[in-house]
Chain A
Amino acid sequence: MLLRLPPSLHYPITVTSLLKQPGDAVERDEALFWYIYQTTVEEGDGLGNRVDVKRKFPTRFESTVDGEIVQWKIAKGDVITGPVDVVEIDEPCAHEVQFGGLCAECGKDMTEATYNTEVMDSYRAPIQMAHDNTTLTVSEKEATRVEEDAKRRLLASRRLSLVVDLDQTIIHATVDPTVGEWKEDKDNPNYEALKGVRQFQLIDDGPGMRGCWYYIKLRPGLEDFLQNVAELYELHIYTMGTRAYAQNIADIIDPTRKLFGDRILSRDESGSLTAKNLQRLFPVDTKMVVIIDDRGDVWRWSPNLIKVSPYDFFVGIGDINSSFLPKKQDIGETNKAVKAVKEKEKEKHAKQEQANGEAAKAGAENDVSALEQLVTMGGGDNPSLLKEQANAQEETIMHQVEDRPLLQKQKELDAEDDASADGSESSSSVEESQEAAKQRHHLLEDHDKELFQLQDRLERVHLAFFDEYDKKRSHALGGRVATLRGEKATHKDKDVDLKLVPDIKDIMPLFKRSVLGGVVMVFSGVLPLGTDTQNADISLWAKSFGVVISSKINARTTHLVAGRNRTAKVREATRYPNVKIVTTQWLLDSLVSWRHLDEDPYLLPVHPDDRGEPLSPGSLELAESTWLSSSDEATGSLWADDEGNEEMFKSSGLDDTSVPGYDEDEQALVHDELKEFLGSDDESESDSEAYGEETNEGSKKRKRGEGTEGVRDEETGEEEGDENDPQGSRLSQRIKRSYERSTGLREVATATGSISGPSGPHGDEADATKAGTTDDQDDGYPEDPDDDDDALEREMLAAFEDDDPQAEEEAAAENG
């Protein structure tokens, strides 16, 4: 080790003599050399006067480490003006592996500190490497060595590492005792479904949960999945459950420990209760690691991650170990999935029992509250709240044990069944309800195909990785054949060349991007209001597949993902022939199966009232058939001259490479650019004319504007997000609305400060104008009596925004 002078010495110093020769042994705190330094001191001259005098003081420099001197880097008489290397000391032990504050190799205490200590010895080994132990730490060098060994071994056996999450990824667990009762009860409608459920009891799992029984449902096909995947991957468990929990699960899914060995990391060792960190397992590099997890946020959407759809067998239970995690964003998503399944089911049994379907729906709706409840209990991720959260988790579990959400749900369902049976036929109500209940055993249903797809994906990644590796290697080998020595080297490490290992982090995103590349989508009714559309879980997930998320519909939009029917955006989208209106399920299924699925089965049935807008061809089917050509034309003609808009897109963080964060500066930039863009548009006409045009057009395209306004309103407060009212009452409503708006102008401006805000009305108008020029459908609108109001309001709004961008920025800052 090279000993360096600390910066705290009184430089310049002059070396006066070296006390040790190369080969001498030194101990810690033993003097190495003498030096003198000069400083000014205050001295008394014996007469009461104080004088500043320059003095030289001799001092010793002491070694901070044990060892043997190898070489001096300084000589007698040297004047040193700053920190330099002084001497090389060969340490008998570099303390690279430490265990509980001791060096594991020499047994010295690493935590001792003296006056001479600059860096604690314990910092020499900062990395935790063992899965199941936090007291063992290693140095970077040692970690690299161990990891390289592992990599060599994996490459030789042509495998990668796979980090597997437990809860809701490969299993689903609950503590609801109802499950136990149902399991025993042969007559229970859920008996069949519960056959494969395993259970275990954790005795000492924290106070309050003594002897809690855990019920574990394995994801369908898990055994085969693990067997097959283990041939391609070395498996690791990384869970947010406790150690005991993880061990028990491992006993269930891998009783012989052939698959996982003891590569199990639980939250006891994770070091963080809110996030998972790949560096904890693979401190040096993660080139060969793939993760599967049902939550992307805990991994901070690591590029190594394959997100799987959560496995939700015990409906409404969620993840029992996620109380510590930040609130799950995509509640809607999971519920949608459940609901969709239910709805499919409903269609299947549609003939038989309408009531049953309704019941299922009711159950699904009930999920929302249960899940939300669970989730809100989780709360934020403030470390200071951890204790509270531990209690919260306890509570959650107690809650589950006491409340038995499953039982409640089943009861509810039965009640509904009863009711419906009574209503239709009062005679054999009991029988029928039982029958219905039997049909209904899909409260707990089990047709999850995720693992089969997952296996396929993992195989693809594995293949891609080793293709790349082989390519690189054969390339390198070809170069080496030229030199004999090179050939020898290759013989030495036959199969393995660590430098050539490609990076999963490059391969997988490339893979994924190609899946939905070129898709520009808009969400409608998918995310709760006020969510950042760019940073929501589902958006991030979609983005990792190359999707561009935009907040409003324009000519570039290719898909509208609608969570429910009849939103304003759906209505607007019908006017664009190239926009496919699909259900959330399409997106989820595409993301899950890594394929750009055919949209046809997922098309959202658009309500006839919502269509009819002249921009779109009469029916959606027609739009489908003409889609290819028209979209090509539209995008070609519309976007050739739209550099400004294009740039606006980029700067507003809408392309997939940029960081989703959207700060004030960017917003301001967007705003400026937008203005510029609009300005250039208006250049041909005089200002007044431009405004006149605008108001004129505003009145003409009243109805068209309606759609975009609806969008805006949806963002402000969803007062009219669901415009399900019949056409007739619309007019009066609109009048009312316009009044409201002109009085609450300030408020509206504030609201437009949200993500889509700055580009709000301007962007719409620009788009609308464009749309107007391509397909001329501007005429033929009936004049509405409230047109003037609306136009006036528009003008005011525009003027307000032009005058006062400052206020808007403030508003934006407030909003997000």
Chain B
Amino acid sequence: MFFLKEETKIISLHPSYFGPNMRDYLVTRLNEEEEGRCTGDHFVICVMDMVDIGEGRVIPSSGNAEYTIKYRAIIWKPFRGETVDAVVTSVKPTGIFTLAGPLSVFIARKNIPGDIKWEPNTVPPQYTDHADQVIEKGTSLRLKILGVKPDVAAINAIGTIKEDYLG
């Protein structure tokens, strides 16, 4: 699910950047460092705007300036039970690896409808029901997230396509 969240971040700036474009530079830094980041809990999708840059404070002994920036960002936190669209990255006899945006989701063989079978002899290998449904690398899938596990800088998730309106 997507949220608009207000967060703070401390950026320390080298004295060589002190000058009229300081603010722009801070914005660039913030975008570079935050967008696409995975905290382990959620993904930061996009930094919307800066609410407050705050006062820069020069740190004794280094000369760097430290800014505490408050900003708003769109984040995505995947939940159990959420339905997402994903692209297949590889298929294996044990299941299908997909990417739903930044989130890697694995669909185990048991969570694939019984009529869609593993077919290793084709190139590339695929899951197919020998009719119109073919799942191979690059196929788009709609899946439901069964479980989410936060890691240090990544999130792993398990999905299923064995329900109505999925696949």
Which chain A residues have a beta carbon within 8 Å of chain B's beta carbons? Answer: 97, 99-109, 111, 129-130, 132-133, 135-136, 138, 142, 146, 149-150, 153, 157, 256-258, 261-262
B125 at the interface (CB under 8 A from A): yes
Is A109 in contact with B147, judged by CB distance below 8 angstroms?
A: yes
Contact of A257 among B80, B109, B111, B123 (CB under 8 A): B123
A-B contact pairs, 22 of them (CB 8 A): A97-B108, A97-B109, A97-B110, A99-B106, A99-B108, A100-B104, A101-B151, A102-B147, A102-B149, A102-B157, A102-B158, A104-B94, A104-B111, A105-B108, A107-B146, A107-B158, A129-B94, A130-B97, A136-B92, A150-B93, A153-B120, A157-B121
Contact of A109 among B93, B111, B149, B154 (CB under 8 A): B149
Complex alpha-carbon distance, A160 and B103, angstroms: 36
Which B residue sits closest to A146, measured CB to CB? B93
Which residues of B have CB within 8 Å of A133? Answer: 90, 97
B156 at the interface (CB under 8 A from A): yes
Which residues of B have CB within 8 Å of A149? Answer: 93, 118
Which chain B residues have a beta carbon within 8 Å of chain A's beta carbons? Answer: 80, 90, 92-95, 97, 104, 106-111, 118, 120-121, 123-125, 137, 145-149, 151, 154, 156-158
Complex alpha-carbon distance, A516 and B80, angstroms: 63
Is B108 in contact with A100, judged by CB distance below 8 angstroms?
A: no
Complex alpha-carbon distance, A142 and B94, angstroms: 8
Is B108 in contact with A108, judged by CB distance below 8 angstroms?
A: no
Is B125 in contact with A261, judged by CB distance below 8 angstroms?
A: yes
Given contacts A99-B156, A133-B97, A138-B94, 13 further A-B contacts (CB under 8 A): A97-B94, A97-B95, A100-B104, A100-B149, A104-B94, A104-B106, A104-B107, A105-B111, A136-B92, A149-B93, A256-B123, A261-B123, A262-B124
Grouping DSSP codes into helix (H, G, I), strand (E, B) and loop, the B interface class, with mixed when no group exceeds half, is strand
Contact of B124 among A105, A146, A261 (CB under 8 A): A261
Q: How far is the CB of A227 from chain B (nearest CB, A)?
A: 14
Which residues of A have CB within 8 Å of B120? Answer: 150, 153
Which residues of B have CB within 8 Å of A102? Answer: 147-149, 156-158
Q: How far is the CB of A428 from chain B (nearest CB, A)?
A: 58
Which residues of A have CB within 8 Å of B124? Answer: 257, 261-262
Q: How far is the CB of B99 from chain A (nearest CB, A)?
A: 12
Complex alpha-carbon distance, A132 and B94, angstroms: 13
Which B residue sits closest to A93, measured CB to CB? B110
Which residues of B have CB within 8 Å of A103? Answer: 147, 158
Which residues of B have CB within 8 Å of A132? Answer: 90
Which B residue sits closest to A130, measured CB to CB? B92
Complex alpha-carbon distance, A108 and B148, angstroms: 9
Contact of A101 among B90, B107, B111, B156 (CB under 8 A): B156
Is A104 in contact with B149, judged by CB distance below 8 angstroms?
A: no
Complex alpha-carbon distance, A129 and B90, angstroms: 14
Q: How far is the CB of A283 from chain B (nearest CB, A)?
A: 12
Which B residue sits closest to A129, measured CB to CB? B94
Q: How far is the CB of B68 from chain A (nearest CB, A)?
A: 30
Contact of A130 among B94, B104, B108, B137 (CB under 8 A): B94
Which residues of B have CB within 8 Å of A138? Answer: 94
Which A residue sits closest to B109, measured CB to CB? A97
Most buried by B among A99, A102, A109, A149: A99
Pairs A-B, 8 closest by C-beta atoms: A107-B147, A100-B156, A107-B146, A104-B108, A99-B106, A107-B158, A146-B93, A105-B110
Which residues of A have CB within 8 Å of B94? Answer: 97, 104, 129-130, 136, 138, 142, 146
Most buried by B among A105, A132, A258: A105
Which residues of B have CB within 8 Å of A256? Answer: 123
Which A residue sits closest to B157, measured CB to CB? A102
Q: How far is the CB of A381 from chain B (nearest CB, A)?
A: 28
Complex alpha-carbon distance, A41 and B142, angstroms: 62
Which residues of B have CB within 8 Å of A104? Answer: 94-95, 106-108, 110-111, 158
Which residues of B have CB within 8 Å of A108? Answer: 147
Complex alpha-carbon distance, A107 and B78, angstroms: 13
Is A136 in contact with B106, judged by CB distance below 8 angstroms?
A: yes
Which residues of A have CB within 8 Å of B111? Answer: 104-105
Which residues of A have CB within 8 Å of B125? Answer: 261
Q: How far is the CB of A679 from chain B (nearest CB, A)?
A: 65
Which B residue sits closest to A110, measured CB to CB? B149
Q: How far is the CB of B127 from chain A (nearest CB, A)?
A: 13
Which B residue sits closest to A263, measured CB to CB? B125
Complex alpha-carbon distance, A111 and B94, angstroms: 21
Q: How far is the CB of B114 from chain A (nearest CB, A)?
A: 14
Q: How far is the CB of A112 from chain B (nearest CB, A)?
A: 10
Most buried by A among B80, B94, B124: B94
Q: How far is the CB of B152 from chain A (nearest CB, A)?
A: 11
Complex alpha-carbon distance, A111 and B150, angstroms: 11
Known: A99-B156, A101-B149. A107 touches B80 (CB 8 A): yes
Which residues of B have CB within 8 Å of A262? Answer: 90, 124, 137
Which residues of A have CB within 8 Å of B107? Answer: 104
Most buried by B among A129, A150, A256, A262: A262
Is A106 in contact with B123, judged by CB distance below 8 angstroms?
A: no
Q: How far is the CB of A122 from chain B (nearest CB, A)?
A: 11
Which B residue sits closest to A108, measured CB to CB? B147
Which residues of B have CB within 8 Å of A109? Answer: 147, 149
Complex alpha-carbon distance, A662 and B149, angstroms: 51
Which residues of A have CB within 8 Å of B147? Answer: 102-103, 106-109
Which residues of B have CB within 8 Å of A111? Answer: 149
Complex alpha-carbon distance, A157 and B137, angstroms: 24
Complex alpha-carbon distance, A676 and B45, angstroms: 82
